[in-house]
Structures are given as structure tokens and as C-alpha cells.
Structure 1
Amino acid sequence: MNGPSSKETGELYDLTIIGGGPAGMYAAFYAGMRDMKVKLIEGKDELGGFLHHYAEKTIWDVGGIPPLRCDQLIRHLAEQARTFDPTIVFGQRVDGLELLPGGAYRLRTDSGKTHDTKTILVAVGRGITEMTKLDIRGADRYELTNLHYTVQNPEAFRDKRVLISGGGNSAVDWANELVDVAKQVIVAHRREEFGAMERSVSRMLEKADVRTPYELQELHGEGEAIGAVSIRHGESGDMELIEVDAVVVSHGYSRSYGDLLHWGLDIGKHGIHVSDQTVTNLPGIFAAGDCASYSNKVKLIAGAFTDAVLAVNSAMSYIDAEAPDMAYVSSHNEKFREMNKQLHHGSKAVETQ
């Protein structure tokens, strides 16, 4: 865990990034390639953003990287983000925006600190998120025992009978994570169709006990733990009692952009409206990652990286209209010459041991 940077906050930065998820971290790295003076402000005490909700999941779809756990990807991205020594501030949530004479911005945070910057990249991901709780009376009493809203450690479900309620990506992914660990995995979804990747759904249908269209109706407790659940068929209304050792609820989440809503940004149902170059309706402010909405949006981590590059390049053009359109690729970029030498010497040393 890293504390706030010791660098002064009164300086004027070229780019201030709000949010330390994949888009924010990659933007910090790429802006360093462009010799920009960069600050990243993260409301929590660590980088990673919403990815921490799925730390135990395996990520397959980042180009050129073999399958790895989400927490490992976070570590790699955080290390990369620090390549060019940006200022990183933790534990501050941005809640105010002020336009300064000359066109720069002043950001205010809930800690009372101010941060001055020429441009702003909003990379707040899904915003302030809250998991949708199970709407059954008395459900909260089981949250400390065997009612779960996330799967942090699959081993905790070993040899157990697990019911998963939900039909989105998370529910399907968790089912696939647990089928090789748990004694039994039952998935109850209120619709026939699942809102997840086709390949993941196919694997789940092969291995898990899938019940559709069923909805979780009642929890039956044994002391402080759930011992059985009742699920209700959406068409016939028939009820079925199932003995369980654990229940996982994946009913989505609510999100809010908090004080960003008062900045004057054009925000719609799916996020902040931006151009195909990630430009918002406010001059010098850009958006990237899950919070950015545009017609050809790619909703993958790889898409967040692309958003970040576009946003940094747009910010650079905003500051200096004569600047090159993009940074030189790393294989030909002089900024990496000394780093490459160190990597080469390090690998040689390992080979000779």
C-alpha cells in the first residue's frame, strides 16, 4: 500500500487524472511517454479501481498477456503507471472544479486540498458503485456468514453447495470459477437468456446446474447461516426448496458520479458523452474507460487502454496545437533507451547465474 506522494500540490500540472483504474493507470504511463507533467488522484488508498472487486478472477482478453489473475494485472499496471514518476495522490475524492484565469483548472478534494492543472482526464470507471443488495427481509443478517455479494477467495467454497443468483457476466464468471471447487453450483436466473459472453455461458451450461426462469424468493436460516433457499419459477409460480451451504448474489450495482454531476459535463445513461477523441463538452476535460460513452466504445480493458491514449493525445493537442499527434512507439522511443539497457543487463546477469 502506498501513501500520498510527497510532491507539492500547489504546482501546475499538464494533466491531472481522476481515477486509478486501468484507464487512469495507463494514461499516467502514456502521458509520461509524452513528457507531460502528470498527477493522478485516487479516492482510495490503492490503485486498481473496480478491478479489486474481481481480484481472484482470471483475465484472458488483454492482448499479448497470458491468462493471469486480476490482482496480478493490477500490480503490473500499477508498476507501469509509475514508470515516469508521476505524482500519485491517494485518499482524496475530487468534489469541486474551478476555472482559473488563463484557462487552467483548480480541483478541490474532500480533504480540502487543491490541485491546479492545464487539462483533466476523468477516469473514474463506474463511479461510486454499490452492489445491489438482495431485496429479501432479513437478508442482511447473513452477510457475515454465508450470504456473499462477491467471490474473493474461491477456496472458501470448496466442497460446498453454492447457489448463485444472477445472470450477468459476474454471475456466470463466478459459476465457472466455482464449478471445479464446490460440491455443487446452482445458478438461478429470472430470464432464459444470460447477459454474459457466449463462451462463458456455454461452459456454465455444461458444468453447473442452471435453473431458468427462476428467482430467489426466500432464505431459510439455521442460526446465523442460510441452510436452504426457495426459488420461484417465473412463469408457473412453482416454488422449489434447495439446501445450500452458501449463496452468492450478483444482481448488478448502482453507480453515481457524485459531484461530477455538478460540473456541467454531458452525462447520459451510459456515462460521460465524449467525441471519438474522448473530448467532453467542457474545454480541456477528457474522459476515458468505463465512464466514457461514445458510439464505437469497446467495453474491454484493452478498450480502456485505447481510450487513455486518445485522451492523453487530445490533452497534449489542447495544450500545444503544434505537438505531434502521438508519442513515438516504445521500440523507437529515446525515453526507453536507458531502461532497455538496464533490462538487457539484468537478463544477462540472470543467465550467467
Structure 2
Amino acid sequence: MSDFHIHDVTIIGGGPAGLYTAFYCGMRALDTHIIEAQPDLGGKIHAYPEKIVWDVGGLPPSSGKQLMDQLVAQAETFHPAITTNEKIIHVEKDETGLFRLEAETGGIYYSRAVIIAVGHGILHAQKLDIEGAEKFELSNLHYTVQQLERFRDQKVMISGGGNSAVDWANALCPIASEVTVVHRRDEFGGHERHVQEMKESEVNVQTPFALSGLHGNDEGTAIERVLCTNLETNESMEKEVDAVIVNHGFQMEFELLENLQLQTEENKILVNEQMRTNIEGLFAAGDITNHQGKVHLIAGAFVEGASAANSVKQFLEPGAGAKAMVSSHNERFAEKNQEIQKNLLSKQL
């Protein structure tokens, strides 16, 4: 697919940073295009749709799916163009200052400015390095938890020590009949409070252990027993399981950055306080960025997205204001507010 329409701004990435940035670009009356490499918008949140998110300001504890759905709905407020399943692999700027974006499919897109909001890059779950493991991926070997309920009354083993592994253990503890967590180190990388909660619960925590073997049922279609090895003593233990969840992190793909002459540091784009990169007209927001005072929260990504949108507006229209009016006073919401108020009144009557 190609789009010969020249957008004011193209946002590469449809995760939380990209979605909020699109909304704020709409507040600045920018003709906006979102391009996402995955089939659906939402970014990394797809990896934990049932995980509860607590740290978005003003939002009650919400599941990943709820947050994702709300972000997508908000991003669509001003009707940006949205293209999914399209991986941008090359961006170049011509002599007129116009950006040409090339996709892996051969699709070509044009934009006056670009905001990169690809998060941690294109993520691929780190697969279990045990021979034959892949044959169980269609049955009971999981790399993410899409539905907690499917593990009800099951014996579950979780391999990993990061936030997701700890959170899944805590969430599954009251649902599964048994939860065992194996981790290569005694220390866990999850949030301290959640780690403490796990250790004080009925979760069976085994360290320093690693999965070393998978034994299938008679038909060879599902894992029936798991072999774990103590990394200090080399002793092994075997456990019966109904399901195995592996959270060994993600492999990150940064092909786009490799094709741009951007200043980077440890696969992060260096930006200033206005989210400007070293390439004029190209901005960045979210987890892909690094700058002084960086806050690695979804709320931080929202602020960076708004700053990037404001910078785009002033880049394209040097006389424009530095920021949008707040939503309660922004004229772009006048008609929408009347519609909402009318619906509220009709419900009261």
C-alpha cells in the first residue's frame, strides 16, 4: 500500500506514546497519520491484556485491554489516518524537506514531519532454548497470558524473574491450583512490593533454578512434566504441570534506527526537552527516547507525546503557539462537548 497524500505529521508506532501523540496532534489541528507494524494498535500492552495497570494519573486500576481500548478510542477523536501491519524500514528527507517513508511491503508514504514512537522496537518474545519446545506452543507452553481464566485449577509453572513473571504469579495464585516460579537468580527484577507479595503468598518460589527439560504426554501434544536444574548444585527436580509460562524478556528489533543518521545511546534516540532529534523535522516520544529527566512510565510517554506534537506544530508553523489550549477551553472540543452534555441530560431525564 502507498499513500501519496502528504500528511502534516506521521507517527511511527501505535503504542501508548504514539496513540496519545496522535490525540494531541489532533488538538493542534495537524493532519496526522499513524503507522503501526503490528496488526493492531496498542503496542506492548498486547503482551499483558489482563494485567492491572495502576500508575496512569486519574485512571482507576484498569486491565491492559481496558487501557489499550481507551487509548485507541482517544487517538481516533480527530480521525487520523491509521495504517496497521506496515513496518517502516527506511525514512529519508529530500531536498525540499519532505519525508519519504518506505515500508517493508514496498509501500511509500509522505509527511512534512515525523514522530518516532516505536517504544522498545518491534518485540519478539525470547523463546525457551530447549530442543522440541516449539511443538508445545499450540497447547500448554505460553509466552504471554491473554486470559487468566484458562489456567483455573491448573498446576502452573512460570519461568522468569521480571515484572511480568511476578505479576502473573500473583494474579494466578488465587486461580490456579498451584503456582511455581523458577528463576535463575535469588533476586527478582520486579517491583519490590509485588515481589514481596509473591514471596508472602502460596506461590512456590524456586531459586536459583532454570528449566532444563520438557516431557510430553503419551501423544506428545502437551507438556506433562518439567525438569528444573539448580544452577549452584546442579541437582534437578521434576514437577508435574498443566501449563508452563515463560517470561524471559523480549528480543528487540530496531531496523528503522539502523537506517537513520540519528544520535542514539544504547538503542535510544537522544532528544532535547522539545523531543527534537538531531534531524530537523524528525521528533521522538516514549520509551524509544533518552534525555535528562526521563521518566519510564506511560504517563511520561504522554507528556513527551504532547511535547513532540507542540514541536511539530511550531516546526511547520513558526508563528503557532507553543502549546494547545487545555481540553476544557480548546475550541476543537466545543461540538463534542455539546454532544456529550446532551447525552448526559437525556439520561437524567
- TM-score bracket, normalised by the shorter chain, equals over 0.9
Q: Distance in 1 between matches of 2:266 and 2:282?
A: 19
- Structure 2's unaligned 5+ residue stretches are none
Match of 2:101 in 1: 107
Q: Which residue of 2 aligns with 1:17?
A: 11
Amino acid of the residue matched to residue 255 of structure 2?
G
- Give CA deviations for 1:95-115 in whole Å, capped at 9, x if unaligned: 222322321211122333322
2:153 maps to 1:173: no
The answer to whether the aligner puts 1:64 opposite 2:61 as a matched pair is no
| Number of positions where the alignment pairs a residue of Structure 1 with one of Structure 2 | 346
Determine what percentage of the aligned residue pairs are the same residue. 45
1:218 corresponds to: 213
- Superposition pairs for residues 295-314 of structure 1, below 5 Å? 295-314=292-311
Q: Which moved more, 1:291-300 or 1:158-167?
A: 291-300
How far does residue 130 in structure 1 lie from its aligned partner after superposition? 1.1
Cα deviation for residue 275 of structure 1 reads 2.1
Determine if contact 2:182/2:206 at 8 Å carries over to the other structure.
Answer: yes
* 1:27 equivalent in alignment to 2:21: yes
CA contact (8 A) 1:56 1:69 kept: yes
Instruction: Write the mapping of 1:270-309 to structure 2, written as runs, cut at 5 A.
Output: 270-309=267-306
Per mean C-alpha deviation after superposition, the further-off stretch among 214-223 and 73-82 is 214-223
4+ residue runs of structure 1 moved beyond 4 angstroms?
none
Displacement of 1:270: 4.4
SS at match of 1:289: coil
Among 37, 40, 48, the alignment partner of 2:42 is 48
The aligned amino acid for 1:221 is G
Shift of 1:43: 2.2
Cα RMSD for the two superposed structures = 1.6
CA distance in 1 between partners of 2:132 and 2:91 (Å): 42
Q: Residue 3 of structure 2 aligns to a residue in which SS?
A: coil
Structure 1 Cα separation of the partners of residues 140 and 153 of structure 2: 14
The aligned counterpart of 2:229 is 232
Shift of 1:74: 1.3
1:198 paired with 2:192, answer yes
Q: Distance in 2 between matches of 1:326 and 1:169?
A: 35
- Residues 192 and 212, structure 1, Cα contact 8 Å, conserved in 2: yes
Alpha-carbon offset, residue 198 of structure 1? 1.4
What displacement does 1:40 show?
1.1
CA distance in structure 2 between the aligned counterparts of 1:90 and 1:248, rounded to whole angstroms: 28
- AA of the residue aligned to 1:170: S
Report the AA paired with residue 276 of structure 2.
V
2:68 counterpart residue number: 74
AA aligned opposite 1:317: Q
Q: Counterpart of 2:139?
A: 145
Q: Which moved more, 1:116-125 or 1:87-96?
A: 87-96
Greater shift, 307-316 or 217-226, is seen at 217-226
**3-state SS of paired residue (1:135):** coil
Q: TM-score, normalised by structure 2?
A: 0.94
| Distance (whole Å) between structure 1 residues aligned to residue 38 and residue 134 of structure 2 | 25
Residue correspondence of structure 1 range 228-267 to structure 2 within 5 A: 228-267=225-264
1:58-81 CA-partner distances (Å, limit 9, x unpaired)? 211111111122112111111111
Cross-structure match for 2:177: 183
Q: Which residue of 2 aligns with 1:327?
A: 324
Residues in 2 aligned to 1:148 and 1:91: alpha-carbon distance in whole angstroms: 23
Structure 2: distance between partners of 1:245 and 1:318: 56
CA contact (8 A) 1:165 1:188 kept: yes
2 CA distance for matches of 1:256 and 1:276? Answer: 26
CA deviation after TM superposition for structure 1 residue 280, in Å? 1.5
Q: By how many angstroms is 1:46 displaced?
A: 2.1
